[in-house]
């Protein structure tokens, strides 16, 4: 079901440009630019003097000039913007155009391309002024039809007005699903509202003179405006609701957000509408290799499943006879259990999936005890038992631990404050896809210090920290963009700068790249200390399964 819907979303996204359907760039040009495919269906081929010829995907312009066409700086190589708006005027003239994004690959010069000279530089690698291009840029012996399609594409690329950006204001949305935890939701919204208010204060306090320098010219400081999109009702209706929100409140990007059990409609909305959706608080994101717009902190419980699989099946130690997994039939453990079962089957280990009926909406959990007891019945010491359960269920576990190989999900179970009964504590292993508390302590001074200054009580530290971090990352990325408000470029800049950050709250490090949409890749497996509040007992080093 989910994958079919996703596939449709992918197909739609592949065909859509940044803007309205009427102005959609020619698919031929897009195919050539993004996928290295010629209108005839043949593969694009690029050659270089020193060999290293490229074809197809590898030859596609998008690899270097990026999806926005605004170029990049890679290592010591400047990759210039190649949207027509840049190339068809003298770059000196571009300097004076405040509507034109200022990008790192920019170099001012006194001449402009025409269709003929542009075709010529793409074919020969020599600029009209006789200057040969850097060896990185391949030469493309394109036929006239392909060239026309390509140049047509470059003329449309990144030309549409960007929604959510006005002369004075940058509009952002955050998305809250109806199943979000109320405490976490409130905590997240408070961080966002305070951060946005602070940004406005900073802007108000700034009286930056418009100096006649290139960098400053482009810089018009805009205040940020937050729109809170609260979803209601069934997940099937969310995408529609979001599209309605977007129509009435156009935004540049979606920042943070919070969900609990279901996030895929939000993911599809972002991808379908070409909106960057940055770093929401969700533990089950959508993994879709070709999607561009949604960016997550990590793969969440799917990462936890891989951490467990690596320990259970990849080591040379004794493997379990059987994998028994317990999860609520309406919670994110379903997907995690499925992912882990696939790994188990690949390792020829029998799997038993024990779904416990949906938990009652009240987080009471008196009847949970009996249901869980039934689910665990018959597990013995040759089995591995994995519990994809929330805190209330963990607290309701009874009796003795049936095996020495018990795993719980840290994300679902409350991390170091997982309320396991005493008899279960010592025997249980927990996945912990964050840096260990003592290792992140110094780093945490930044968010915690800010909360203190802002007089924000710490009610949901993880969510508050991740939300604050998302805001800081957004703010930095926008700074790096020199106010070039282009959605694709926002993500491209984030890919470039994220791994350079050294202070990342709960995470030891973050990083993205073209095609990478999960910023943190690893985690620990830990034991809970005998006494709550003591140090977690890490079982081995941080690992990236």
Partner 1 sequence: MSRSPSSWLITGVVAMALGLAAGDLARADDSDDNHAHHHAVPTQSAAQRTTAEYTIPDVDLVREDGKVVHARAEFDDGRPVLLGFIFTTCAAICPITSATFRQFQDKLGPNEPVHIASISIDPEQDTPSRLRQYARKFGAGANWQHYTGAVAASVAMQRAFEAYRGDKMDHAAVAFLRAAPGKPWVRIDGFAAADQLIAEYRAITAPSALASR
Q: Is 472 in the site for partner 1 (CB under 8 A)?
A: yes
Build a one-symbol-per-residue string for 209-248: x at contacts with partner 1 by CB under 8 A, - elsewhere: -----xx---x-----------------------------
Burial of 468 (0-12, 13-18, 19+ CB in 10 A): buried
Which listed range, 58-66, 373-381, 478-486, 514-522, lies at the site for ligand HEC (CB under 6 A)? 58-66
State whether residue 279 is helix, strand or coil.
coil
Q: Is 513 in the site for partner 1 (CB under 8 A)?
A: yes
> Which residue of this chain has its Cβ atom nearest to ligand HEC in the complex?
61
Q: Which is nearer to partner 1, 231 or 482 (CB)?
A: 482
Q: How far is the CB of 514 from ligand HEC (least distance, A)?
A: 12
What backbone phi and psi angles, to 5 degrees, belong to 445? -60, -30
State whether residue 139 is helix, strand or coil.
strand
Taking alpha carbons only, the member of 183, 165, 190, 185 closest to residue 175 is: 185
User: Sheet harboring 537-538: ordered strands across?
Assistant: 350-356, 322-328, 383-388, 406-409, 428-432, 524-527, 537-538
Q: Is 83 in the site for ligand HEC (CB under 6 A)?
A: no
Residue 171: CB partners within 8 Å, gap ≥ 6?
A: 163, 164, 165, 224, 225, 227, 249, 250, 251, 252
Q: Which is nearer to ligand HEC, 74 or 380 (CB)?
A: 74
Q: Is 150 in the site for ligand HEC (CB under 6 A)?
A: yes
Q: Is 93 in the site for partner 1 (CB under 8 A)?
A: no
Q: Is 56 in the site for partner 1 (CB under 8 A)?
A: no
Q: How far is CA 449 from the centre of its chain?
A: 26
Q: Which of residues 140-179 bind partner 1 (CB under 8 A)?
A: none
Residue 389 corresponds to which tokens in the numbers above? 């359960």
Distance in angstroms (rounded) separating the CA atoms of residues 260 and 175: 12
49 binds, among ligand HEC, partner 1, none (CB under 5 to 8 A by kind): partner 1
Distance in angstroms (rounded) separating the CA atoms of residues 184 and 467: 11
Sole residue written with tokens 């991390």: 415
Q: How far is the CB of 170 from ligand HEC (least distance, A)?
A: 29
Sole residue written with tokens 């909305």: 269
Taking alpha carbons only, the member of 100, 92, 146 closest to residue 122 is: 146
Count Cβ atoms below 10 Å from residue 271 Cβ, excluding itself.
24
Q: Is 75 in the site for partner 1 (CB under 8 A)?
A: yes
Q: Which position among 140, 172, 518, 524 is part of the footprint of ligand HEC (CB under 6 A)?
A: 140
Please provide the distance, in angstroms rounded to a whole number, between the alpha carbons at the two ends of the chain.
27
Q: Which position among 3, 20, 21, 50 is part of the footprint of partner 1 (CB under 8 A)?
A: 50
Build a one-symbol-per-residue string for 296-325: x at contacts with partner 1 by CB under 8 A, - elsewhere: ------------------x-----------
Q: Is 382 in the site for ligand HEC (CB under 6 A)?
A: no
Burial of 176 (0-12, 13-18, 19+ CB in 10 A): buried
Q: Is 79 in the site for ligand HEC (CB under 6 A)?
A: yes
Enter the DSSP assignment of 31. Answer: I
Q: Is 127 in the site for ligand HEC (CB under 6 A)?
A: yes
Calculate the alpha carbon distances from 527 to 43, 46, 99, 323, 542 in Å. Answer: 53, 54, 55, 20, 14
The DSSP bridge pattern shows strands 253-255 and 294-295 to be unpaired
Whether the CB-CB separation of 376 and 326 falls below 8 Å is answered with yes
Distance in angstroms (rounded) separating the CA atoms of residues 327 and 358: 9
Which listed range, 229-237, 341-349, 503-511, 532-540, lies at the site for partner 1 (CB under 8 A)? 503-511
State whether residue 302 is helix, strand or coil.
helix
Q: Is 415 in the site for ligand HEC (CB under 6 A)?
A: no
The DSSP bridge pattern shows strands 169-176 and 223-230 to be parallel
Taking alpha carbons only, the member of 296, 304, 299, 248 closest to residue 270 is: 296
Q: Which is nearer to ligand HEC, 122 or 242 (CB)?
A: 122
382 binds, among partner 1, ligand HEC, none (CB under 5 to 8 A by kind): none
Distance in angstroms (rounded) separating the CA atoms of residues 185 and 226: 15
**Axis-axis angle for helices 182-205, 461-480 (nearest 10):** 30
Q: Which is nearer to partner 1, 53 or 459 (CB)?
A: 53
Which listed range, 20-28, 134-142, 349-357, 432-440, lies at the site for ligand HEC (CB under 6 A)? 134-142
Q: Which position among 137, 188, 309, 326 is part of the footprint of ligand HEC (CB under 6 A)?
A: 137
Which listed range, 136-144, 321-329, 344-352, 368-376, lies at the site for ligand HEC (CB under 6 A)? 136-144
Q: Which is nearer to ligand HEC, 121 or 448 (CB)?
A: 121
Q: Which position among 202, 346, 358, 530 is part of the footprint of partner 1 (CB under 8 A)?
A: 202
Q: Which position among 8, 134, 166, 445 is part of the footprint of ligand HEC (CB under 6 A)?
A: 134
Q: How far is the CB of 501 from partner 1 (least distance, A)?
A: 6
150 binds, among ligand HEC, partner 1, none (CB under 5 to 8 A by kind): ligand HEC
Binding site for partner 1 (CB under 8 A): 48-54, 58, 62-64, 72-79, 102, 104-107, 132-136, 198-199, 202, 214-215, 219, 314, 446, 450, 472, 475-482, 495-497, 499-503, 509, 511, 513-516, 521-522, 541, 544-545
Binding site for ligand HEC (CB under 6 A): 61, 63-65, 77-80, 82, 118, 121-122, 127, 133-134, 136-138, 140, 150
């Amino acid at each position: 079901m989910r994958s079919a819907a996703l596939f449709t979303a992918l197909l739609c996204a592949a065909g859509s440009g940044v803007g309205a359907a009427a102005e959609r760039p020619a698919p031929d040009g897009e195919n050539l630019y993004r996928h290295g495919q010629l209108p005839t269906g043949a593969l694009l081929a690029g050659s270089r003097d020193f060999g290293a010829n490229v074809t197809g995907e590898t030859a596609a312009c998008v690899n270097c000039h990026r999806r926005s066409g605004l170029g990049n700086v890679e290592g010591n190589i400047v990759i210039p913007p190649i949207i027509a708006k840049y190339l068809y005027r003298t770059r000196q003239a571009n300097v004076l155009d405040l509507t034109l994004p200022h990008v790192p690959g920019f170099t001012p010069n006194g001449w402009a391309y025409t269709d003929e000279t542009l075709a010529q530089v793409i074919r020969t690698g020599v600029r009209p002024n006789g200057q040969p291009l850097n060896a990185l840029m391949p030469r493309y012996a394109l036929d006239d039809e392909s060239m026309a399609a390509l140049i047509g594409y470059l003329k449309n690329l990144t030309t549409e007005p960007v929604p959510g950006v006005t002369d004075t204001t940058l509009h952002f949305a955050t998305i809250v699903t109806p199943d979000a935890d109320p405490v976490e939701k409130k905590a997240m919204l408070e961080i966002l509202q305070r951060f946005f208010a602070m940004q406005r204060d900073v802007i108000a306090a700034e009286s930056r003179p418009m100096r006649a320098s290139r960098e400053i010219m482009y810089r018009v400081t805009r205040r940020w405006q937050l729109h809170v999109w609260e979803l209601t009702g069934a997940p099937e209706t969310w995408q529609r609701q979001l599209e309605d929100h977007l129509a009435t409140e156009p935004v540049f990007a979606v920042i943070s957000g919070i969900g609990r059990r279901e996030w895929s409609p939000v993911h599809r909305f972002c991808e379908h509408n070409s909106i960057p959706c940055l770093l929401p608080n969700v533990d089950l994101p959508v993994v879709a290799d070709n999607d561009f717009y949604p960016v997550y902190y990590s793969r969440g419980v799917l990462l936890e499943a891989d951490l467990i699989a690596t320990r259970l099946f990849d080591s040379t130690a004794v493997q379990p006879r059987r994998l028994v997994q317990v999860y609520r039939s309406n919670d994110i453990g379903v997907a995690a259990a499925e992912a882990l079962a696939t790994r188990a089957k690949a390792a020829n280990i029998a799997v038993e999936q024990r779904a416990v009926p949906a938990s009652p909406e009240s987080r009471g959990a008196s009847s949970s005890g009996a249901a869980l007891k039934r689910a665990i019945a018959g597990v013995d010491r040759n089995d591995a038992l994995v519990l994809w359960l929330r805190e209330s269920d963990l607290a309701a576990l009874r009796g003795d631990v049936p095996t020495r190989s018990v795993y719980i999900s840290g994300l679902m179970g409350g991390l170091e404050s997982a309320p396991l009964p005493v008899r279960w504590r010592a025997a249980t292993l927990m996945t912990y896809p964050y840096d260990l508390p003592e290792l992140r302590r110094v780093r945490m001074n930044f968010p915690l210090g800010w909360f203190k200054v802002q007089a924000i009580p710490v009610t949901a530290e993880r969510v508050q920290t991740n939300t604050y971090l998302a805001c800081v990352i957004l703010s930095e990325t926008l700074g790096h963009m020199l106010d070039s408000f282009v959605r694709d470029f926002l993500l491209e800049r984030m890919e470039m700068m994220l791994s350079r950050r050294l202070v990342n709250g709960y995470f030891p490090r973050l990083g993205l790249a073209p095609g990478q949409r999960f910023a943190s890749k690893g985690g620990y497996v830990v034991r809970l200390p005998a006494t709550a509040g003591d140090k977690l007992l890490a079982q081995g080093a941080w690992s990236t399964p």
